[in-house]
Amino acid sequence: MSSTLTNLVYHMVFSTKHRDPLIQPAFQKRFYSYIGGIVRDEGAVLMEAGGMPDHIHLLTRLKPVHSVAGFLKIVKSKSSKWVNDEKLSPTKFHWQVGYGAFTVSASQIPTVAKYIQNQEQHHRRKTFQDEFLDLLKRHELEYDEKYLWD
């Protein structure tokens, strides 16, 4: 048995390029399943996935060998390739360059998972931009808004 024990859980959030509404309900569940396969292939665990046509939330458990940046580069590139290869989007599908990634303590996993499951209800009151800014503030991250919306 290894003496290295970790519980590296992240809430990851990123949008389509220009927040175009390209993740349509017709393929959304298949898309999340496909992303789950990418995550598993990378040796990680997808605990929850959800979002809206213009963005996605992933609750993932990573291994210590993963870097968040490297992991998300793989998830974003393989998932956008799948959407484009399957011709599921009326235009070329791209993710935004950046992302938000927030650590989640074990006690908060159920709360974050429920938050991700309830995205449709949540976004009846709040835009993606407002939601993302709230997450940055809640996690006490400094940012310059001119670099957030690529």
Range of 129's domain? 8-147
Confirm whether 120 is domain-assigned: yes
Confirm whether 107 is domain-assigned: yes
- Please count the other Cβ atoms lying within 10 Å of the Cβ belonging to residue 99: 19
Task: Please enumerate in sequence order all residues whose Cβ is within 8 A of that of 38, keeping only pairs 6 or more positions apart, or say none.
Answer: 74, 75, 78, 79
- Here the CATH number for the domain that contains residue 33 is 3.30.70.1290
Number of domains observed in the structure of the chain: 1
Confirm whether 52 is domain-assigned: yes
Name the amino acid, one letter, at 149.
W
Task: Please enumerate in sequence order all residues whose Cβ is within 8 A of that of 148, keeping only pairs 6 or more positions apart, or say none.
Answer: 98, 129, 132, 133
The predicted structure's pLDDT at residue 17: 94
Place of tokens 């303590």: 105
- Entry pTM: 0.91
Could you state, in chain order, the average pLDDT of each consecutive group of 10 residues for the chain (150 residues)?
86 95 94 98 97 96 96 98 96 94 97 93 84 87 78
